[in-house]
Amino acid sequence: MTGTAARVHELNLYRRYFDLVAAGKKSTEVRVKYPHLEDLAAGDVIRFRIKGTEETVDVRVTRVNEYRTFEALLDSEGPANVNPSSSREEQLANIRSIYGPDKEALGALAIGIELVGS
């Protein structure tokens, strides 16, 4: 074999989003462009964990797109891909309650995901 093993990134996720990922209903994860995510690339694996539990779900990264703001991200990616159970306005409010203006200023990442094994 000439390929290399996929890199695994471990990230925490709130229960409401974890359940959408585990059910295969969420195809785009939103994150701030933190330095530890700068090398995230298609083919990598993300192991999402609900903080304080042993519950995990593994997804494969299909793509990573960068945006200046969360608003631009939702407009381009489509809110239904980020959270099919909330409106665009609700999602924007929820994202901004998690990440304040200082975090949004770092840039936003739209991470395409698919369940491992699907």
Q: Which two tokens stand for residue 1?
A: 């074999």
Q: Phi, psi at residue 75, to the nearest 5°?
A: -65, -35
Structure pTM? 0.92
User: Is residue 95 over pLDDT 70?
Assistant: yes
Specify if 2 maps to a domain.
no
Specify if 103 maps to a domain.
yes
* Total of domains in the chain: 1
CA distance 24 to 115: 7
User: Is residue 90 over pLDDT 80?
Assistant: yes
Write the CATH number for 85: 2.30.130.30
Q: What is the pLDDT of residue 1?
A: 46
| Owning domain of residue 65 | 8-115
Specify if 3 maps to a domain.
no
Among the ranges given (27-31, 50-54, 103-107), the one the predictor scored with the smallest mean pLDDT: 50-54
Q: What is the mean pLDDT of residues 45-62?
A: 96
